[in-house]
Structure 1
Amino acid sequence: MKKLWIALVVLCGIAQITKAQDTLAKYILTPKEKPSPQINGAKIFGVRPGHPVVYTIAATGNRPMTFSAKGLPAGLKLDSKTGMLSGSVNKTGTYTIALSAKNALGTATRNFKLVVGEEISLTPPMGWNSWNIYATKLTQALVLANAKAMVSSGLINHGWSYMNIDDVWQGKRGGEFHAILPDSTTFPNMQALADEVHAMGLHIGIYSTPWIESYGHHVGGSADNPEGAFSPVKENVPRNKKLFPYKIGQYTFVDQDVKQFDKWGMDYLKYDWSPNELPETKKMFDALRAGSRDIIFSLSNSTPFASIGDLSKVSNTWRTGGDIRDSWKSLKPRVLAQDKWAPYAKPGHWNDPDMMVVGWVGWGKGPYPSHLTPDEQYTHMSAWCLMSVPLLLGNDLTKLDAFTLSLLTNDEVIAVNQDPLGKQATVIARNGELGIMAKDLSDGTKAAGLFNTGDAGTQNMVLSWKDLGISGKYIVRDLWRQKDIGVFDNEFKTDVPQHGVVMVSLRKAK
């Protein structure tokens, strides 16, 4: 009887999940992918002189597909079968490269700018982070499985690229650099993992902290002994109070750790402690810059606003608040409340309201479908794209349902996030729980999101040309449905569902 009851519970759970997936499928707004080639993703990429270029052309369409490029600078080459750019360029400058993707149905072309100089991360990083799905249960096998899913699902063809390992990968110090080495039981071969991820055309990232002990109770970047010996503290010690073990130790090992990250081939570093302060940030920035490759430098968490003027100059991204959860209570305060951070956002430097909580999440206790409703997930993706912040997925990529896949593969929505101008949308109109964010795009158009964050059901909202600083007739395009709605003069009115959004672009009518 007990076995029968367990079986019934499991079947009921499966039935509920299936029903939830069917419900989500009804909310799919993205048109189906076309079989002819289309080049997607960032139109600009920054690399430092002499550092390796790690970039894969994001292109949808039927395979096989061949890639070509005109105007490649000396030192750079393109794999015609994979679309992977590699090599390095020593001479600073901006190089305009004409990219092509060809299959049996046609050819797509697009200009691509390679900027060789001091600035990297010229568009917000797009990828995945392990914490919101696996938390402390992370393993090398899980990272690899998600990297393979990033490719097999086609997300890579829309610009998703970074596979970032969060806390709990750390073992003990050792090796040729006396750096943090991986836990041999969960990450038996970090070098092999990095090589496999790169071979797929993806980037890989790593995690550390300047504290003696990380949030996940693993070794940090400092110690109170010169050997860096570490024993986790299991007591309930207040975090963020500069108390042992959540403090900077007398001895730091930043240079040693960065040398190891560099040798593995890491492309991204999440540096996690609170409060984020300038001495530790600058020390890590200098160590990363002295390396042989570009590593995006991301600060976490709850960056002090009073210090952002200095911190933003020596980091690529920084968290503007605490950790997000898959609830409206957690998401809502981040949607229309980032304006004060906007002056510090620009190509190479991005505000970060935290990772994404769409799809199957779990924090090591799942996976389960996100508790956000479909409309709330559209709000999540729309706000993050309008604000030009990092798009780091926190879900199980091996469990991508049709709705989540459509949410993450709308190239017109993603293009707003990856726009080369790098402007953060700000609130241009507000009426209680109704708010409109808008920004300029590099092609001269404008993008706007009409957000209904209230609990009173569907609301009619008005996007006024006066608030946008424009006049005359404009073509309004629904970016989620990828279709023009019509020509409007002075304003655009639409119904917006509860906790939902209408995301549009406006271009001047001829």
Structure 2
Amino acid sequence: MPRLFVKRLAILASVLLCAHVGIAQSSLVPTPPMGWNSWNHFFQHVTDADVRAAADAMVANGMRDAGYVYVNIDDGWQGTRRPDGTIQSNDRFPDMKTLADYVHTRGLKLGIYSSPGLKTCAKFEGSYGHEMQDAKTYAAWGIDYLKYDLCSFGDKLTVAGNGDQAAPAAFAAQQEAYRKMHDALVAAGRPIVFSLCQYGMSNVWEWGPEVGGNLWRTTGDISDKYDRMALIGFSQAGLSRYAGPGHWNDPDMLEVGNGGMTLDEYRTHMSLWAILAAPLLAGNDLRHMKPEHLAILENKDAIAIDQDSLGKQGDRVSALGPYELWTKPMSHGRTAIALFNRGELAHTMRVNLRELGISPGAHIRNVWANADLPFSDIINPIIPKHGVVLLLVTR
């Protein structure tokens, strides 16, 4: 067989493989990804033992069976590069392949973190100039998810105008940086969820899919405070048309269980993320979690709203002062309705269900009360300070 023909066959096979992996990557997350991320609790100090303990806890406490499958290592795992440029993990992660195998044997998937810049946010080694090399390393280790954080690459971006839009050249460079890593992941031959983390700059929701993103951060970092969580979550109004199966708006990770909010506030957090069809990535210490916090994370109805197969993000219907009404269309004619009280006192909200298209005979489930409600045209629930009433309506 002529050598040129063999070479062309090899090229064709490579192209077909990349196309197959690219399609596989785009279908990796038909519903928002669910799992755990190390940053909110461990920050850059996370260890191999912490990750293994999180995986064990997710199996033991039922989170895995509830749908939480990704175990994601955030910033802080990187060591130095070998002379050939291959990235190594640091002393706190002695063997990434062995860790991935450990996670996989528990029916879970392993995620990792990097940056298109020279350094990560915590000043560890980034992927700048080593994108293809790093993607091949992640694939060889058995990595299933990559969070790619702009960080030091942002130093290269000139910000114009009011400070929230990158100048054209910098905007193009930012897009190219993410596209470059996506192409490297595809070429590496292993489907890996690609999570863009650049804090919503340059209206990322408009171009995230074009550079291969499966999800993209729409906000700055969350913290375990009600005011910050609410600012981030409620600011997602109007972005619903940019989300859908395989491509999700990401308002950052969950803080449920870290101790900085009340139970009502954590229920608001979980309810809002569910209405938003947001990724559900727990960020607490799973080894030492209160039962009431686990109950929020594992609430079947809240998860069903978030993970609905229709893949529609919900949106705000009305806001009167601190009182907001949000709805989310769901499969099989179902609807999720959330009534939020952002005020400082308990408040009775009056809602006309007929005006929301809910007809007599509909089945109404009060998610957090774990109770069914009789149908009534008008409902008047009392909602606590910073609280929520979340309803799952089946026609």
TM-score of Structure 1 vs Structure 2, range by shorter chain: 0.7 to 0.9
1:465 aligns with 2:363: no
Kindly state the Cα deviation for residue 311 of structure 1 after the two structures are TM-superposed: 2.1
Kindly state the Cα deviation for residue 118 of structure 1 after the two structures are TM-superposed: 4.3
Paired position in structure 2 for 1:501: 388
Q: Distance in 2 between matches of 1:383 and 1:263?
A: 37
Q: Pick closer, same or farther for the CA change 1:464–1:337 going to 2, 3 Å.
A: farther
Q: Distance in 2 between matches of 1:471 and 1:487?
A: 9
Q: Distance in 2 between matches of 1:268 and 1:450?
A: 34
Q: Which amino acid aligns with 1:477?
A: R
Q: Which amino acid aligns with 1:172?
A: T
| Within-5 A mapping of 1:230-249 | none
Contact 2:249 2:278 in 1 (8 A): yes
How far does the alpha carbon of each residue in 1:327-355 deviate from its partner, in whole angstroms, 9 at most, with x for none? Answer: 11211112322023211100001111111
Kindly state the Cα deviation for residue 376 of structure 1 after the two structures are TM-superposed: 0.2
Q: Distance in 2 between matches of 1:293 and 1:299?
A: 18
Contact 1:428 1:468 in 2 (8 A): no
Q: Distance in 2 between matches of 1:418 and 1:165?
A: 23
How far does the alpha carbon of each residue in 1:212-253 deviate from its partner, in whole angstroms, 9 at most, with x for none? Answer: 11111111112xxxxxxxxxxxxxxxxxxxxxxxxxxxxx11
Q: Which amino acid aligns with 1:160?
A: Y
Structure 2 regions of 5+ residues with no counterpart?
Answer: 1-15, 155-170
Paired position in structure 1 for 2:88: 181
Q: Distance in 2 between matches of 1:197 and 1:167?
A: 18
| Within-5 A mapping of 1:336-347 | 336-347=234-245
Percent identity between matched residues is: 39
Kindly state the Cα deviation for residue 452 of structure 1 after the two structures are TM-superposed: 0.2
Paired position in structure 2 for 1:278: 175
The match for 1:256 among 133, 144, 148 is: 133
Paired position in structure 1 for 2:11: none
Kindly state the Cα deviation for residue 119 of structure 1 after the two structures are TM-superposed: 2.3
| Within-5 A mapping of 1:93-492 | 118-174=26-82, 178-183=85-90, 185-222=91-128, 252-274=129-151, 275=154, 277-313=174-210, 314-360=212-258, 370-455=259-344, 457-465=345-353, 467-489=355-377, 491-492=378-379
Kindly state the Cα deviation for residue 443 of structure 1 after the two structures are TM-superposed: 1.7
Query: Secondary structure at the residue paired with 1:339?
Result: coil
Structure 1 regions of 5+ residues with no counterpart?
Answer: 1-48, 52-89, 93-114, 223-251, 361-369
Q: Distance in 1 between matches of 2:112 and 2:283?
A: 15
Contact 1:433 1:452 in 2 (8 A): yes
Contact 2:221 2:252 in 1 (8 A): yes
Q: Which amino acid aligns with 2:349?
A: M
Q: Distance in 2 between matches of 1:304 and 1:190?
A: 32
Q: Distance in 2 between matches of 1:118 and 1:425?
A: 22
Contact 1:198 1:204 in 2 (8 A): yes
Query: Secondary structure at the residue paired with 1:443?
Result: helix
Q: Pick closer, same or farther for the CA change 1:262–1:385 going to 2, 3 Å.
A: same
Query: Secondary structure at the residue paired with 1:487?
Result: coil
Q: Distance in 2 between matches of 1:338 and 1:152?
A: 34
CA RMSD of aligned residues (A): 2.2
Q: Pick closer, same or farther for the CA change 1:269–1:116 going to 2, 3 Å.
A: closer
Kindly state the Cα deviation for residue 200 of structure 1 after the two structures are TM-superposed: 0.5
Contact 1:127 1:163 in 2 (8 A): yes
Q: Distance in 2 between matches of 1:121 and 1:345?
A: 12
Structure index of larger Rg? 1
Query: Would you tell me which structure has more helix in proportion to its own residues?
Result: 2
Q: Which amino acid aligns with 1:144?
A: R
| Within-5 A mapping of 1:14-29 | none
Contact 1:350 1:388 in 2 (8 A): yes
Q: Which amino acid aligns with 1:264?
A: W
Q: Distance in 1 between matches of 2:364 and 2:33?
A: 28
Contact 1:271 1:300 in 2 (8 A): yes
